[in-house]
Amino acid sequence: MNSIIKYAQCSSLSQWSPVFASQFHTSSALSRVVSGKYRITKKRDRPLTYEMANPPHFIAHRKSWNSWNTSSLKDGLRRSETAVEDEFIRRFLNGTWHGLVCSEVIIKRQFNHIRVAAIVRRAVSPTKMYFLIGYTEELLSNWIQCPVTLELQTVDSYKDVVFKYI
């Protein structure tokens, strides 16, 4: 390395420029958007819900938001807190209702009231489901210090929410 620097110091830049030019490769940016999109499988058997079937740029056109609150408006308050809480609620719900939640978890906030909506499979008995509803509401409202309401819709199986296969 030292020898290169010494060589560069003793020689003029014009001698170096062709070397640098040949070592730098530039190409145009590949603006390929991949996130939130699903690949087509060979057998065309990947089930997609309506939410998954529409990529993110269709939000507000073909599908709407999963979080409804005033923090995302201009000059909204508690932006980061709201985002973190929403993510926490989503993870908690997906873990508590493990393998049961068939759709995205929809979180709507009104004043200090948080309403969580989801579509759930009827794989467990109604008794367990009632317990889980109470458990989720109680724990979440204790953590977030807000009244939390679960508004669930049940379906027979995952196939009910499938919009198309790709």
**Residue nearer to another protein on the CB measure, 6 or 78:** 78
As given in the structure block, the two tokens for residue 80 are 């980061």
Phi then psi for residue 70, to 5 deg, are -90, -5
Q: Is 82 in the site for another protein (CB under 8 A)?
A: yes
* Ramachandran sector of residue 99 (left: φ over 0; alpha: ψ -120 to 50; beta: rest): left
Task: Give the Cα separation of 26 and 47 in Å (integer).
Answer: 40
Binding mask 15-54 for another protein (x = CB under 8 A): ----------------------------------xxx--x
As given in the structure block, the two tokens for residue 111 are 């004043």
Interface residue with another protein among 68, 96, 133, 137 (CB under 8 A) is 68
Range list of H helices, 34-160: 50-53, 79-96, 126-144
Residues that bind another protein (CB under 8 A): 49-51, 54, 58, 61-66, 68-71, 75-78, 82, 102-104, 106, 108-112, 115, 117, 119, 122-123, 125-126, 144-146, 151, 153-156, 160-161, 163
